[in-house]
Structures are given as structure tokens and as C-alpha cells.
Structure 1
Amino acid sequence: MIATDPTIQSLIQAVEAADTPAKLVGAVYALANVRSTEAIPTLIRALGFNNPGAALAAVSGLVALGEVAVPELLAQIDGYNYGARAYSLRALAAIADPRALTVLIEAAESDFAPSVRRAAIKGLGQIRWQQLEPTPRESAQSQALNTLLLVAQDADWANRYAAIVGLQGWLTSADLVDRTRAIAELDRLVETDSDGAVRARAALAKQQL
């Protein structure tokens, strides 16, 4: 659907005027569904409205817009609102644009919010490497793998679990570089991890490769 400017503006105004949580969710869904680039700033703001339904609607709209939403998402990641940051990273991970690599690596390694870390960790396994030229692609894939291998040894079992999801995605999408290191890490997790859920997820990843 291609909306006219007045239509977009009325939808944006509906988001700003919503005076109940339910109205806000409905307004954000309506704005997201038109898939207009003019909606991007408002959808990004909706990530921080402290309304999970509205945030999920905004994520859906941003992901549907795809690569065109990436520059503003990267520029406006909220450094203080961990919920908004988690939703931003969820959108970036789903869009899978390699321009988000640095942000995903930083969040995966050191963000203080667990939900942000896990979203970033999983996102490292979903990047569309084919959008990069061969030389920078090899370097970027190695950077992502190094972070996934680091997080696979994290003290928090949930982060190790997320790293397995990321490693499986990485092995599915990356070139041949460093694959043996990734597979060896899955083997280690299957054999020695202290958490049963982590061991089981690593075994499943190996079966599905």
C-alpha cells in the first residue's frame, strides 16, 4: 500500500494522540502497516513507549521496511532505555543488514541488559553476508564468530544458549572461513557444559547443520 503524505501524517498524529495503551497499540499497528519510510522516526520512538504491544508492532513495521530503516535505527539506538534498545536490536537482527555488525558485537559482548545481549547474540547469526564484498565479508564473519565464541563461555547459561543459536545461524550462512572453530565449540558445549538445556541445544544445532 502506498499512502499519501496526509494519510501518513494522520496516522502519526493518531500515535501521538493515543491516550490509552490499547489505542496506542492500534495506532502503531496502523502506522506500521502502511510501510512508509515517513513512518520510521515515529516507529522508532514507539520502541521506547513502555508498551510492549506497541513496541512489537513497531518492530514488525521496521522489519517490513527492511534496509531503508537501518541508518535511523543505528543513529537512534537509546543508550538509557534498555527496553527500547532491545527492541531496536531485535529489529536490526531481523533485518540482518551487515551495517549493524559493530552495534550487535558491542551489545553482545558488554551490554548490561540481559535481553539486549541475547537479541544481539542471536542477531550475529542472522546477518546477510552476501551484501558485503568478499574481502570485507571474510573479516566481518570472523569478527562475528569471535564474539559468538566468547559469549559461548559466558557465566550466564541463557547467553551461552543464545550463542548456540547464533553459532548455528552463522554456520548456515557464513563462508568456509573458521567453520572448524565454530563446530569445535558446539562439540565442547555438548560434552562439557554444566547446563542440560545448553547441552541439548548444542546437540540439536549439530543435528540440524
Structure 2
Amino acid sequence: MTEPDLLKILLQDIAEADSATRMVAAVERLAQAQLAAGIPHLITALGYNNPGAAVAAVEGLIAIGRPAVQPLLELLDGYNYGARAWGLRALAGIGDPQALDLLLDAAINDFALSVRRAAARGLGTLHWDELAPESIGSAQAKVATVLLTASQDHEWIVRYAAINGLQELAIASTISHPDLTQQILAHFDLLVDLDDNLAVIARIWLAQKNIQANINEILAQQPILEQQISSLQHTSDTNDWQATLEKLYARKRQQQTYPEGDPHKFREVAAAIFRGE
């Protein structure tokens, strides 16, 4: 069977799908075929009001890879934020730097939190080796600037994605731009005291742990780099997950509110009176 004939059958299946389940199955078959001619139709499926079909389309576009990048950039629906978010997930999964400008803009300027989240995460998964060597440093600096801003977004889920992106950027730049990795680590130390969401705080500590593990692995394999990246050695106890859990519980207790009249509200006052203060 020729590709045009196969595509015709697969598109007919989509057209005739009379339920959400059958639509998902039809889009999955189109995605699994990995036909270049099917790319526009997979992009169209991103806008269906069917998350299962969108997931299948994203997976198909990622599997197709680079040939799907330009169509995604050209055909993303500017009026459907759900489709934009799914499209950015596909671009993030592919990791082609052609999407850099779109991701930079979407991460801080799009009104939809799902789009900002997808863009922030995607900025951390770019394949830097596909850029010209002389362009990598400036591109990573732009990404760092945007992700540092996104890590203070008013929506916690966007901040969470930005932390993930910053982690990947710090790991990617450890050898080539250790000053950038240092900037990210310093920013994490600041954020962990400012953020009020426990999930984000935990993600920051995990990012610190993963970056430190990467630094240790580099030093084990290339000890000659010790002087170059020794300033990145983190002296905190972020690798100690018992300490991490204790910190989380402490923050949770600090955030806990008690009803009026609850004796917990007066614990510190009572303790001070008992001590004679």
C-alpha cells in the first residue's frame, strides 16, 4: 500500500470516528504511521476537544521529529490556547532550537498558564548541540533570563516547570558556562526562602540535588576540571532527603492556620511565659 493510500484510510478513520474513544484510536493509528504527509493532520488533532487524541498526536509529532518542527511553528493555533499548549509540548519533546524564539515569548507572555508551563519546560529540553557553537552561549543566556522570570510566575505550576527548565539548563552549561550554573544555583537558594508552595520548594531541592550529582559525576570523570567548577560545589544538605522532608514539614507547619481560640495559636506565648520572658 502506498503512503497516500494509507493516509487516505487513516484520515477516513478520523472522519468517521463517532465517539471520543474511537477518535483517540484513530489519531493513535495516524501517529504510529509516522507519515510526513500526516503532520498537518496531527497538528489539527491538537485542537480537538479530546485530551487523549491530543496526547497521541503529540507523541506522533515527537516520533516524526525535525520534519514536524516547521509545520508546528507555522500551524499553531493562535486562538486555541489548548492547541498551543499541546503544540509546545510537541516542540519541547523534539527539542529543536528552531522553536527557541517561540518558547521564549510564550513562557512569559502567553495569557494561558498551560502554554507558559509547556514553554518553560520546553526551554530546558532544547538540543544545544544543534546550534552553531558560537551561538550557544548567547542562546542559553536568553533562556536563563526568561526562566528566571518564569520561576516567579504567579501560577505555581508555571514556576514548577521553570525550575525543571533551569535544572536542565544548569546541567547543560556546567562545563561550558559554569557562571550560568552558579547563577541558577544562587537563584534557587533565594527562591526556596521566598516561594510559598511546597511542591515548588520540593522541586527546587530536587533540582539542586540533581545539579550537584551532575557536578560530582563530571569531577569523577574529569578531575582536571575541578578548579574550573569547584565554585559550584554546594555545601548545603540538599542531598540529604531526610533533611529535605524535615524542611518540608517545617514549612507546612509554618503555613498551617488554626481557628480562633485554638490553643496551638498561643503555644509560643505560653512557652515564653513559662520561661519567664
- Global fold match (TM > 0.5): yes
The CA distance in 2 between the partners of 1:142 and 1:25, in whole Å, is 40
After superposition, residues 37-52 of structure 1 pair within 5 angstroms as 37-52=36-51
Unaligned runs of 5+ in 1: none
- What is residue 199 of structure 2 aligned with on the other side? 197
- What is residue 91 of structure 2 aligned with on the other side? 92
CA RMSD, 1 decimal: 1.5
- What is residue 103 of structure 2 aligned with on the other side? 104
**In the alignment, is residue 208 of structure 1 matched against residue 210 of structure 2?**
yes
- What is residue 8 of structure 2 aligned with on the other side? 9
Counterpart AA for 2:102:
V
Counterpart AA for 1:67:
R
> 1:158 Cα deviation (Å)?
2.2
User: Bigger CA drift: 171-180 or 20-29?
Assistant: 171-180
- What is residue 132 of structure 1 aligned with on the other side? 131
> 1:22 Cα deviation (Å)?
1.6
Q: Percent identity?
A: 47
Using the size of structure 1 for normalisation, the TM-score is 0.94
The CA distance in 1 between the partners of 2:6 and 2:196, in whole Å, is 55
CA contact (8 A) 1:154 1:160 kept: yes
User: Bigger CA drift: 55-64 or 198-207?
Assistant: 198-207
Unaligned runs of 5+ in 2: 212-277
- What is residue 270 of structure 2 aligned with on the other side? none
The CA distance in 2 between the partners of 1:32 and 1:61, in whole Å, is 4
After superposition, residues 149-160 of structure 1 pair within 5 angstroms as 149-160=148-159
Counterpart AA for 2:106:
A
SS of the equivalent of 2:65 reads helix
User: Bigger CA drift: 92-101 or 167-176?
Assistant: 167-176
> 1:171 Cα deviation (Å)?
1.3
CA contact (8 A) 1:126 1:173 kept: no
The CA distance in 2 between the partners of 1:149 and 1:164, in whole Å, is 8
User: Bigger CA drift: 176-185 or 2-11?
Assistant: 2-11
Bigger-Rg structure (1/2) = 2
Counterpart AA for 2:184:
A
The CA distance in 2 between the partners of 1:3 and 1:188, in whole Å, is 58
C-alpha deviations, 1:143-190, integer Å up to 9, x for none?
111000111122222222221111011112234162221111111122
The CA distance in 1 between the partners of 2:113 and 2:195, in whole Å, is 20
- What is residue 80 of structure 2 aligned with on the other side? 81
CA contact (8 A) 2:14 2:23 kept: yes
Total equivalences in the alignment: 208
Structure 1 moving runs of 4+ over 4 Å:
none
- What is residue 180 of structure 2 aligned with on the other side? 178
CA contact (8 A) 2:43 2:57 kept: yes
- What is residue 30 of structure 1 aligned with on the other side? 29
The CA distance in 2 between the partners of 1:194 and 1:26, in whole Å, is 41
> 1:3 Cα deviation (Å)?
5.8
More contact order relative to length (CA 8 Å, sep ≥ 6): 1
- What is residue 67 of structure 1 aligned with on the other side? 66
> 1:196 Cα deviation (Å)?
2.4
- What is residue 113 of structure 1 aligned with on the other side? 112
C-alpha deviations, 1:110-161, integer Å up to 9, x for none?
1111111101111111100000011222111111110001111222222222
Counterpart AA for 1:194:
D
Counterpart AA for 1:12:
L
Using the size of structure 2 for normalisation, the TM-score is 0.72
C-alpha deviations, 1:88-123, integer Å up to 9, x for none?
000001111100011111110111111111011111
SS of the equivalent of 1:153 reads coil
